[in-house]
Copies of this chain bind each other. A is one copy, B any other.
Amino acid sequence: MIKVGIVGGTGYTGVELLRLLSQHPEVSVEAITSRSETGVKVCDMYPNLRGHYNTLTFSEPDAKMLGAMDAVFFATPHGVAHALAGELLQNGTRVIDLSADFRLRDVDEWSHWYNQPHGAPELLNEAVYGLPEMHREAIKRARLIAVPGCYPTAVQLGYLPLLEAGLIDSTQLIADCKSGVTGAGRGAKVPSLLAEASESMKAYGASGHRHLPEIRQGLADIQGSSVGLTFVPHLTPMIRGIHATLYGKLKAEPQELQAQELQELFEARYANEPFVDVMPTGSHPETRSVKGINTCRLAVHRPDNGNTVVLSVIDNLVKGASGQAIQNLNLMFGLKETLGLDAPALMP
């Protein structure tokens, strides 16, 4: 069994790690930390876990104890992994960071968007961006994984085939994204109340959002050069799910590409990807079809006006966070990539 610890387990990505790992045959959660809930059993805080983890109890974060693990997940606010990751790596513990701490290679950009100095620039060099559909081989060899953000995952998987094939004008990308409210975390904030957020839809961060530089960097890696992107996230009255609607202007020559050719491109690119499902031509994937699972479902459309539209849905807490983190762990430890991640979505 692979012994793992979770740092900062009281948020939604923490409890989702516990839910998913309870079904993983090769992983044992040995420790979970939380300063605020030290001494509380996880099943007392999260009643869905009653009957599972009956003795697992939140403890103070402790580098020595965590250093005895094979791997440690960080499900923490930004900055925490900076402080602890180095010591863990020295002890031979692998680090899978669900926060943004190691996602951006540009230290200054990180500081700009997260309003604090970068705490571990010396580790950036070996951090691997944990999007297996792009970086599978590097992940297998990695000691430190930066798990992609939820929006960046949905957007990159949607644009990937088009950018790799050079079909669209990469200076004019538009990603209109809709997220359920768990994307805002478990903090007690008025705008996240049911009475405020239900029966309503709104954009936020329309003039700039933290995930923008991450998406730009990821798309540039795919593309091989910088991209121009407009990204507008929206708050949607549902618990889980991201729907990314991605617009791309076909280049001059590909103008003659028909829907069927785009379909084949997507199917070919993702033929061997266990967690990317290209739906049939003309489909409109629903976020509920991935509720609770690690799959990204895609559909590609070709309206008759020069654009292509890709629809990409994920569960923000699974493929957008905890599930993808486990997918990375499976790769790092030489396990079957889908281990513990193969149940169907809950529907309806």
Chain B residues positioned under 8 Å from A252 (CB to CB): none
Chain B residues positioned under 8 Å from A223 (CB to CB): none
Instruction: Verify if A35 is at the interface (C-beta below 8 Å from B).
Output: no
Within 30-51 of A, Cβ neighbours of B (below 8 Å) are at 46-51
On whether the beta carbons of A343 and B23 are closer than 8 Å, the reply is yes
Once A176-B176, A206-B311 are accepted as A-B contacts, the answer to whether A199 and B291 lie under 8 Å apart by CB is yes
Number of residues of chain A lying within 8 A (CB) of chain B: 88
Complex alpha-carbon distance, A239 and B297, angstroms: 22
On whether the beta carbons of B19 and A347 are closer than 8 Å, the reply is yes
Chain B min CB distance to A90 (Å): 34
Chain B residues positioned under 8 Å from A199 (CB to CB): 199, 238-241, 288, 291
On whether the beta carbons of B193 and A193 are closer than 8 Å, the reply is yes
Chain B min CB distance to A112 (Å): 13
Chain B residues positioned under 8 Å from A306 (CB to CB): 228
Complex alpha-carbon distance, A241 and B198, angstroms: 12
On whether the beta carbons of A22 and B343 are closer than 8 Å, the reply is yes
Complex alpha-carbon distance, A286 and B346, angstroms: 18
Once A193-B194, A295-B51 are accepted as A-B contacts, the answer to whether A237 and B238 lie under 8 Å apart by CB is yes
Partner of A347 from the list B15, B174, B282, B299 (CB cut-off 8 Å) is B15
| Stretch of A102-110, A122-130, A140-148, A178-186 with 4 or more beta carbons under 8 angstroms from chain B | A178-186
